Amino acid sequence: MLSSCWRQFPVTFAARRFTAAAASADRVALIQGSSRGLGLEYAKQLLSRPGHRVIGTCRDPGSAHELQKLQDSSKGRLSIVRLDVTDEQTIQAAAEEVSKQHGHLDLLINVTGILHIPGKISPETALSRITPEALDVVFKTNAFGPILTAKAFAPLLEKAESCSGASNERPAVVANMSARVGSLADNRLGGWYSYRSSKTALNQLTKCMCLEFARKHRKIAGILLHPGTVDTGLSEPFQKNVKPEKLFTRERAVQQLLGIIDSTTMKDNGRYIAWDGQDIPW
């Protein structure tokens, strides 16, 4: 474990091993789903911090032009890796690639999520509109994908403890992008059957992961995040009833969420948190 870190960063490892300040300089973050929307913004903001290395994944690097532009200006601190959350082989291959590149991981943000696919899927407003095809792709993308990604990257997150000094106060973090509509307690409107219930499933899968991290005394905290309503391609067709002050820019939303991620300790493991830091009822 230590030797893989040494191979990656032979010059500085001994000096930074025991200091928190040096540990922060070594943070390696993977943004799963960073071609556009909130994922691209996470990559931008993390790269604006000195010392961060970022891996941005997407299912088609060749068409992720904004991410490529970011890579060109990143001075080698952003690498792009192919990962389609609906294909576990690509998830495993991405984990092997990151293991070779960095040897460990400090932060995994699972951003990918779908609400609609133009011309194919729209959120169901009535029981009669549910189709097995939509349920299948939405659950695979929003619920199964993030947990399979966490499974593949957990061994690298475990190495953060010895590589960059992860501790109870500053653990490695898995942040899964959920949504308030995944809350059973908060569901007063119904509708959006596939999307809502896929996020509910993501919440339950993540909760199980967090309980396991705690039981095994891992220095890894899992959290579920609701970003608010954010001006992205996902929300664009559904923004007409959103008051302007309730529609966040991507910049503001990610700033708020990174604030939560930055302050995460093991005490937060298993929380379902809104953009303002408040707990969401399950």
Ligand X SMILES: NC(=O)c1ccc[n+]([C@@H]2O[C@H](COP(=O)([O-])OP(=O)(O)OC[C@H]3O[C@@H](n4cnc5c(N)ncnc54)[C@H](OP(=O)(O)O)[C@@H]3O)[C@@H](O)[C@H]2O)c1
Task: Give me the residues that bind ligand X (CB under 6 A), please.
Answer: 33, 35-39, 58-60, 84-86, 111-114, 141, 177, 179, 226-227, 229-230, 232-235
38 close to 253: Cβ distance less than 8 angstroms = yes
CB 133, min distance to ligand X, A: 15
Task: Name the residue nearer to ligand X (CB basis): 78 or 266.
Answer: 78
Task: Name the residue nearer to ligand X (CB basis): 8 or 86.
Answer: 86
CA distance 282 to 274: 12
State the DSSP string of 75-110.
TT-EEEEE--TT-HHHHHHHHHHHHHHHS--SEEEE
CB 83, min distance to ligand X, A: 6
Taking alpha carbons only, the member of 217, 223, 212, 208 closest to residue 269 is 223
Task: Name the residue nearer to ligand X (CB basis): 58 or 107.
Answer: 58
CB 37, min distance to ligand X, A: 2
Task: Name the residue nearer to ligand X (CB basis): 175 or 220.
Answer: 175
Backbone angles phi, psi at 252, to 5 degrees: -65, -45
Task: Name the residue nearer to ligand X (CB basis): 36 or 104.
Answer: 36
User: What does the block give as tokens for 141?
Assistant: 């993308």
For tokens 């960095």, the residue is 102
CB 110, min distance to ligand X, A: 8
State the DSSP string of 223-248.
EEEE--EESSTTTGGG-TTS-GGGEE
CB 126, min distance to ligand X, A: 21
Task: Name the residue nearer to ligand X (CB basis): 103 or 248.
Answer: 248
Contacts by 69-74, CB closer than 8 A, 24 or more apart: 70/40, 70/43, 70/44, 74/47
CB 256, min distance to ligand X, A: 12
CB 100, min distance to ligand X, A: 21
Task: Name the residue nearer to ligand X (CB basis): 165 or 227.
Answer: 227
For tokens 């947990």, the residue is 147
CA distance 6 to 3: 5
Calculate the CA 215 to chain-centre distance: 22
